[in-house]
Amino acid sequence: MAQPGSGEQLFAGIARHSARLGGYLKWAGISVVGGAVAIGINMLDLGVPGWALGLLWLIGLPGLLWTYLTHISTKYKVTHRRVETEHGVLAKKVESLELWRVLDVEYSQSLVDRIFKNGRIKLISTDQSNPELVLHGLPNHRQLFEELRDAVQAARQTNRPMELAPGSDLGDFQDGGGEVL
C-alpha cells in the first residue's frame, strides 16, 4: 500500500459499459418499437416506400450513439488524495473532490449490479456544490471501496483541515477531527 497522502493512482479510466445498461436498453427498445410501427404501417399497405419504413428501425440509433459517447467520455481518476471526474462529449468539465473533505464512503450493489458484477461507491462530502459523488461500474469496485475508505481516513488525519462548524458563529472553528479550536 502507498504512503497515506501520496498521489498514487488507485484507478484511472472509464466505467464498465454495463453501468449504462439502462440507457442502452432504452434506446434499443425505442428502435424495436420503431420497427414494430414500420411493420404495422407496411401491413396496412399505405403506400409508404419500404426504405422509409426501414428508417424507423434506426430511430433509436442517435440515442444509442449519444449514450456510448457520453459513457466513453466520462473518465475517473482516483488517487490517495482526490477523486477527479472528467465528463462531456462536446465540452469538457473536470471536477475534483479532495478526500479530506469526504465524511462517509458507502458501498452498495443492486440485484442488476450483482448480475453484471458492478458496484456503486458513494462519497458523501462537505463540498458545497456537489456533496455526493457516485462511482458506478468501476472495475475492482470492492477493492477500490476498501482502498478509498482507508485513504479517506488517512487524508483526514494527515490534513486536519479547518472547517467552520455548522450552526456556529464565526468565532468557533473546528479542525477536521471535530475538535473546537
C-alpha cell at 104: 462517509
Query: For the chain, what is the domain count?
Result: 1
Question: What's the CA gap between 139 and 91, in Å, rounded?
Answer: 26
What lies within 8 Å, CB to CB, of 51 at 6+ separation is none
Angle between helices 61-72 and 21-44 (to 10 degrees): 170
pLDDT of residue 3 exceeding 80: no
- Is the predicted pLDDT of residue 138 greater than 80, yes or no? yes
> What domain range is 44 assigned to?
1-181
Residue 101 CB neighbour total at 10 angstroms: 21
pLDDT at 153: 93
The answer to whether 124 touches 130, Cβ cutoff 8 Å, is no
pLDDT digits (tens, 9 = 90+) for 6-34: 568 999 999 999 999 999 999 999 999 99
Q: How far apart are the first and last CA of the chain?
A: 33
**Residue type, position 42, single letter:** N
pLDDT attached to residue 98 = 94
| Predicted confidence band of residue 79 (pLDDT cuts 50, 70, 90) | very high
pLDDT at 173 (0 to 100): 46
Mean pLDDT taken over the chain: 87
Least confident of 25-29, 129-133, 170-174: 170-174
Given a cut of 60, is residue 150 above it in pLDDT? yes
* Bridge partners, 136 (sequence order): 120
Closest Cα to residue 100, out of 57, 152, 35?
A: 152
Enter the pTM of the model: 0.77
Confidence of residue 46 (pLDDT cuts 50, 70, 90): confident
